[in-house]
Amino acid sequence: MADKPQSGSILGIPYNFERPSLGRLISAHWKPGEGMVVEKPFGIGYTLNLANWRSWLVVLVAGVLLWQERGGADGLDEDDDADDPVEVVVDD
């Protein structure tokens, strides 16, 4: 059998299944001269470049949305009428 390539791209999406090392993982996520997304050091697709300020903005927004979803602002919505009974009027 022929050896399958460990890295490359399919339909423009990069993949890399070479054995990961700590140095390669760190250097893949910190590339100061590149854009917001870079190729993943292991797996399929792209990941955030943490040397780019826009990536930190994305992480911050995702963190705020996750905090809000998990009920981080429980005490702020005291006048929420979700638990009050609702009157429904039906005209015939």
Q: How is the chain classified by DSSP, letter by letter? A: -PPPPSEEEETTEEEE-SPP-HHHHHHHH--TTS-SEEE-SSEESEEE-TTSHHHHHHHHHHHHHHHHHTTTTGGG-TT--TTS--------
| 14-65 per-position pLDDT tens digit | 999 998 889 988 889 999 999 999 999 999 999 999 999 999 999 999 999 9
Asked if residue 79 is part of any domain, the answer here is no
Domain count, the chain: 1
Asked if residue 89 is part of any domain, the answer here is no
Asked if residue 81 is part of any domain, the answer here is no
Asked if residue 78 is part of any domain, the answer here is no
User: Is the CB of residue 50 less than 8 Å from the CB of residue 56?
Assistant: yes
Range of the domain at 19: 7-72
Residue with tokens 């996520």: 29
pLDDT of residue 49: 94
CA angle 34, 14, 21 (to 5 degrees): 75
